[in-house]
Structure 1
Amino acid sequence: MAERMERGMAGKIAGKTAKRMDTGSGTESRKAVDGDKDRAKDSKHKVRDGEGKTGVGKSGKRFAEDGDALSKQRSGEKRRDGSLPRERKGTDGLSAPKKQDGRGLSAGYRREDSKRGGSYGGRGTRRSTSICPVLNLCGGCQLLDMEYAKQLDFKQKQVEELLKGLCPVKPIIGMKDPFHYRNKVHAVFDRDKKGNIISGIYEENTHHVVPVEKCLIENQKADEIIGTIRGMLKSFKIRTYDEDTGFGLLRHVLIRKGFSTGEIMVVLVTASPVFPSKNNFVKALREKHPEITTIVQNINGRGTSMVLGDKEHVLYGKGYIVDELCGCRFRISSKSFYQVNSVQTEILYEKALSLSGLTGRELVVDAYCGIGTIGIIASKAAGKVIGVELNQGAVRDAVNNAKMNGIDNIRFYCNDAGRFLVNMAEQGENADVVIMDPPRSGSTEEFMDAVGKLGAGKVVYVSCNPETLARDVRYMKKLGYRAVEAWPVDMFPETDHVETVVLLSQQKPDDTIEIDLDLDELDATAAETKATYEEIKAYVWDKHHLKVSSLYISQIKRKCGLEVGQNYNLSKSENPKVPKCPPEKEAAIMDALKHFQMI
């Protein structure tokens, strides 16, 4: 829970001499390519790059850098476009001719719309009658023609297989309406062979632009605004940028929409800071779409695969939008990482915080914190939160977001997460809970070793790649951590990507002294026969995720007037020091005694 830290829409563009394609549809369309979280590389550790460097892939996958297809993860194969998708993930979608009706879906829903394919036979067997006309060219929605209930089953089985023997997997959490969930939409602009202005996506493995006017997983208002911009270019004599010749002005359009607030940002990516008639253009666009909150010009004159440049000019509004997530407000700029599926993000974060079991006293470390979403949300239930992020821009956003929410028990540090935790451990500091949301490549041994040295009792691992998750869980097991449970969350319906949040609990001795106990010599009372010590321990662990010793159980039983063996609290050392049961464990043991009707 990735938030999860900023990433760029990454990918590699094909050769500059590739010809543009004309689909023959005669329509002027657009695209959405992104990959909200392209991690930056820092020596041994990858972290979020704040999306300050944003690339558009040659592939049609709009999530070109976001999370490998589950069907490919185990074999280690690349995507067909050679990219490593991960959107913190996600996926960008495709277009469709019409909005489908009857889209209220749930985990157990059987889609009755006959337009949707009844079965999924793999990437090479997509139905020619797909509800999306460019499904094969785009490749973003790998499971679009599969019933949604079957999509969830497919993802559930993949996660279960990868975590088999490591962790029990709970039922996947799906969406009621698995369409039009993307609050971030990106389009590349070009011209077809006839000179018509088009916007859309890159065809897989090519530099050809596939016109797309509407997409089944993108926000519909964003698609509408992009279409309006496309229609305005001719009258304002604005040329689209030609990457072969280096001439032209408009390269991309990025739309971001606040799910809760409805605020809309329009980012016009131009090859030059010179924008003729920009004031009139902005005025005309606002007249057609008064719902737009802010308009920004981003200048990218580099001949690279990066979508966003370093310089920006605010043409209208504040230059950012604000959205609300889990009761907290967040400022979102053009380069900010922000989960593209707000509905499922709230579910993911709430599940992560529920598993962390915060009581208001804990020190929480939010690793790979990005703009501070998870940490700020967690701060309301924690004693203190430390957020660690390598990208400076993301850290600045995180600090501003904390101030905006009036949070004063959180601190953000611009550093590599692994090195930061190592320094904490070397200084003798401890953490109660670590929330980690690494890139699709997973965490590093350095980072996980540092987590162990910190003595964190709980680790909440938010993953976008079940394969690297399984690898890291195995390594954490060597460090004395047990994977308690895993919850898959369908963040990107219609695609083969899945998020998973896992709770890992440290298994360590309750005490630091040795006590020799012989439970076989104890006389069981009538009450004691109702539950053994092992049964009480198991109950406390399953319900409260706490490990309690037989000594602690005996102390609480005595406190409740239950008889135990006379030698139970004795140590064979000359100066015995018997540890006292901590209050939280006492409460858990009392709960167990009541459960077994012993008190």
Structure 2
Amino acid sequence: MDKRADRGMSGKMAGKTVKRVGTDSGTGSRKGVKRDKGGVRDRVRDNVKDGVKDRVRDNVKDGVKDRVRDNVKDRMKDNTKDNIKDSKHKVRDGEGKNGAGESGKRFDGNEGAFSRQRSGEKCRDGSSPRVRKGAEGLSVSKKQNGGALNAEKRREDSKRGGSYGGRGSRRSNSICPVLNLCGGCQLLDMEYAKQLAFKQKQAEELLKGLCPVKPIIGMKDPFHYRNKVHAVFDRDKKGNIISGIYEENTHHVIPVEKCLIENQKADEIIGTIRGMLKSFKIRTYDEDTGFGLLRHVLIRKGFSTGEIMVVLVTASPVFPSKNNFVKALREKHPEITTIVQNINGRGTSMVLGDKEHVLYGKGYIVDELCGCRFRISSKSFYQVNPVQTEILYEKALSLAGLTGQELVVDAYCGIGTIGIIASKAAGKVIGVELNQDAVRDAVNNAKMNGIENIRFYCNDAGRFLVNMAEQGEKADVVIMDPPRSGSTEEFMDAVGKLGAEKVVYVSCNPETLARDVRYMKKMGYRAAEAWLVDMFPGTVHTESIVLLQKSVK
């Protein structure tokens, strides 16, 4: 075929092609081609738009999935870091209490038997916000089933007539419906007299050969003694709003409306808040997704004054309708004296965040103890059992035997409770505390009580005493109340160098107490006597006081 034939064939084929393309107009004209090109452009444009929309939608979905996955990973990393830090320092109540001279050398004593393990919070008092944290235990993801396995094990122990670590028999019908899930009140089903006997025996065994142990001082009414109550908020599988506590060793929330060791008014207020959330369209925080607003509610009540603080822990500072919410809550509970919003947007096991806004009232409450008044903020360390606390402090000061001339060092002083009470019978008192908020409260407490012979220092207790000793200063009496992890060698060495004639050691952990008493014995001190005060009925925890006296060479 020659070139002309080839061109002709091509033209025919082109003509046919034009005719097919221009079928809408019934002709193969150029006009039809133009119109069809417009249609092609429309279809291409629509396809591009649809493709872009699909890609955007897919990207958004992938982005959300990635963010949720990253949030979960970050939270697990943060929780792991927090647990490592908590296991090293045993921070009081999960709220920044001085870690017993954190720069000093730590002991590796076994603290398991007396360590209360509720997620997140490592509690100074042996209780749990749950961080009862925060204080004081292990954090795991909601999806993990370690707690369920532990709960099942406890249920099996109960069926076999078992007990908490073999420490006493349980009644078959528990007085608490969540006893085997909570893990906080290990001895609640044991008769109170037997609880006291168990604690007495444990202390005697731990302090055997060190000093005589006086009979434990129990409570007349061992229920509803906690003046600090914490509840975590969540939703159940049906989407219903619940509040309660973390199941032991998990972040699975167990609904609790009433607790036998918590203040009843506090439980009532928490129930009211739970009922208000739906009408105000406030979502509870979801740890898995990071969405939602309300995480926790913390209630503190003054035993002597009756003042009540409500702390609303939110994941964001943005609190829709907060003024109306506060107004409605106060109308239902006019006894509330202050309401605080605490912002905790971190994916950690700690209950309280760093920032706060006062929504109503002063932002703190005031309570009375041993004839002195104390200002208590949301993060303040303040003993949770006011009745037994007075007994504890009076016994500690009795053992100190102050005459009005002594220089007293109140180490790990918190908001200054023991030091301020002791200042009435001492020549001069020095309080040392690492937490800035607590020191601020301590200074205000001294002013409130008109105390002028006391000074507070924001410093590590161990380091501060070392500096005192290096400068050749002396102390007559040292009162020490360290966290559950106990004291440090650095701190106790400094006590010896200060030449203190008496050391009054207040402890919430008999195991670390016994360990430290042995070390103080090497420093030339002898343990004269030990007293036990049952600060936490229903649990395995107790407070101990040991009087250490400098041995005469």
TM-score exceeds 0.5? yes
Shift of 1:89: 4.1
Q: Are the equivalent residues in 1 in contact too, given 2:98–2:434 (CA < 8 A)? A: no
- Matches of 2:503 and 2:177, distance apart in 1: 44
Which residue of 499, 523, 528 corresponds with 1:479?
A: 523
Instruction: State the AA in 2 paired with 1:285.
Output: L
- Aligned equivalent of 2:164: 122
1:90 aligns with 2:127: yes
Residues 161-198 of structure 1: per-residue CA shift (max 9 Å, x gap): 11011001000010111100000001110001111000
- Matches of 2:117 and 2:530, distance apart in 1: 29
SS of the residue corresponding to residue 492 of structure 1 reads coil
Shift of 1:86: 3.9
Shift of 1:80: 6.7
- Aligned equivalent of 1:286: 330
- Aligned equivalent of 1:194: 238
- Aligned equivalent of 1:224: 268
Shift of 1:348: 0.5
Instruction: State the AA in 2 paired with 1:323.
Output: D
Shift of the 83–247 alpha-carbon distance from structure 1 to 2, 3 Å rule, reads: closer
- Matches of 2:518 and 2:125, distance apart in 1: 23
Instruction: State the AA in 1 paired with 2:397.
Output: L
- Matches of 2:291 and 2:214, distance apart in 1: 53
- Aligned equivalent of 2:361: 317
1:171 aligns with 2:225: no
Aligned-pair Cα RMSD in Å = 2.7
Shift of the 128–239 alpha-carbon distance from structure 1 to 2, 3 Å rule, reads: farther
SS of the residue corresponding to residue 486 of structure 2 reads coil
Shift of 1:428: 1.4
Q: Are the equivalent residues in 2 in contact too, given 1:39–1:46 (CA < 8 A)? A: no
Residues 416-475 of structure 1: per-residue CA shift (max 9 Å, x gap): 111111111121111110000111111111111111111100000001111111111111
Shift of the 16–311 alpha-carbon distance from structure 1 to 2, 3 Å rule, reads: closer
Shift of the 228–331 alpha-carbon distance from structure 1 to 2, 3 Å rule, reads: same
- Aligned equivalent of 2:426: 382
SS of the residue corresponding to residue 366 of structure 2 reads strand
- Aligned equivalent of 1:250: 294
- Matches of 1:228 and 1:313, distance apart in 2: 21
Q: Are the equivalent residues in 2 in contact too, given 1:259–1:342 (CA < 8 A)? A: yes
- Aligned equivalent of 1:109: none
- Matches of 2:518 and 2:305, distance apart in 1: 41
- Matches of 1:68 and 1:177, distance apart in 2: 29
Q: Which range moves more in the overlay, 493-502 or 390-399? A: 390-399
SS of the residue corresponding to residue 521 of structure 2 reads helix
Normalising by structure 1, we get a TM-score of 0.69
SS of the residue corresponding to residue 88 of structure 1 reads coil
Q: Are the equivalent residues in 2 in contact too, given 1:90–1:491 (CA < 8 A)? A: no
Shift of 1:305: 1.4
- Aligned equivalent of 1:541: none
Q: After the TM superposition, which residues 317-336 of structure 1 pair with which residues of structure 2 at under 5 Å, given as runs? A: 317-336=361-380
Shift of the 221–174 alpha-carbon distance from structure 1 to 2, 3 Å rule, reads: same
Shift of the 402–36 alpha-carbon distance from structure 1 to 2, 3 Å rule, reads: same
Which residue of 466, 471, 475 corresponds with 1:427?
A: 471
Q: Which range moves more in the overlay, 38-47 or 347-356? A: 38-47
Instruction: State the AA in 2 paired with 1:44.
Output: S
- Aligned equivalent of 1:352: 396
Q: Are the equivalent residues in 1 in contact too, given 2:75–2:347 (CA < 8 A)? A: no
Instruction: State the AA in 1 paired with 2:103.
Output: K
Question: Which structure 2 segments of 5+ residues have no match?
Answer: 1-71, 77-91, 133-158
Q: Are the equivalent residues in 1 in contact too, given 2:119–2:349 (CA < 8 A)? A: no
Q: Are the equivalent residues in 1 in contact too, given 2:534–2:543 (CA < 8 A)? A: yes
Q: Are the equivalent residues in 2 in contact too, given 1:35–1:89 (CA < 8 A)? A: no
- Matches of 2:316 and 2:454, distance apart in 1: 40
Instruction: State the AA in 2 paired with 1:88.
Output: D
1:135 aligns with 2:160: no
1:157 aligns with 2:201: yes
Q: Are the equivalent residues in 2 in contact too, given 1:68–1:84 (CA < 8 A)? A: no
Which residue of 44, 48, 52 corresponds with 2:103?
A: 44
Instruction: State the AA in 2 paired with 1:144.
Output: L
- Between Structure 1 and Structure 2, whose CA radius of gyration is higher? 2
Q: Are the equivalent residues in 2 in contact too, given 1:254–1:266 (CA < 8 A)? A: yes
Shift of the 494–291 alpha-carbon distance from structure 1 to 2, 3 Å rule, reads: same
Residues 301-338 of structure 1: per-residue CA shift (max 9 Å, x gap): 11111211111111111111000011110101111111
SS of the residue corresponding to residue 539 of structure 2 reads coil
Aligned structure 1 segments of 4 or more residues deviating by more than 2 angstroms: 13-17, 33-47, 78-94, 119-128
Shift of the 348–296 alpha-carbon distance from structure 1 to 2, 3 Å rule, reads: same
SS of the residue corresponding to residue 199 of structure 1 reads strand
Question: Which structure 1 segments of 5+ residues have no match?
Answer: 1-12, 18-32, 48-66, 95-116, 510-599
Shift of 1:484: 0.5
Normalising by structure 2, we get a TM-score of 0.74
Residues 73-114 of structure 1: per-residue CA shift (max 9 Å, x gap): 5xxxx76769895423435699xxxxxxxxxxxxxxxxxxxx
SS of the residue corresponding to residue 269 of structure 1 reads strand
- Matches of 1:201 and 1:350, distance apart in 2: 33
Shift of 1:120: 7.2
- Aligned equivalent of 2:499: 455
Q: Are the equivalent residues in 2 in contact too, given 1:369–1:388 (CA < 8 A)? A: yes
- Matches of 1:219 and 1:41, distance apart in 2: 30
- Matches of 2:441 and 2:453, distance apart in 1: 16
Shift of the 89–404 alpha-carbon distance from structure 1 to 2, 3 Å rule, reads: farther
Instruction: State the AA in 1 paired with 2:125.
Output: R
1:210 aligns with 2:241: no
- Aligned equivalent of 2:532: 488
Shift of the 282–212 alpha-carbon distance from structure 1 to 2, 3 Å rule, reads: same
Shift of 1:300: 1.2
* Greater helix content: 2
SS of the residue corresponding to residue 163 of structure 2 reads coil
Percentage of matched positions with identical amino acids: 84
- Matches of 2:240 and 2:326, distance apart in 1: 22
Q: Are the equivalent residues in 1 in contact too, given 2:101–2:491 (CA < 8 A)? A: no
Residues 54-76 of structure 1: per-residue CA shift (max 9 Å, x gap): xxxxxxxxxxxxx956xx25xxx
Shift of 1:246: 1.2
- Aligned equivalent of 2:13: none
Q: Are the equivalent residues in 2 in contact too, given 1:387–1:410 (CA < 8 A)? A: yes
- Aligned equivalent of 1:50: none
1:270 aligns with 2:307: no
Q: Are the equivalent residues in 1 in contact too, given 2:374–2:417 (CA < 8 A)? A: yes
Shift of the 217–15 alpha-carbon distance from structure 1 to 2, 3 Å rule, reads: farther
SS of the residue corresponding to residue 477 of structure 1 reads helix
Q: Are the equivalent residues in 2 in contact too, given 1:36–1:89 (CA < 8 A)? A: no
Shift of 1:299: 1.0
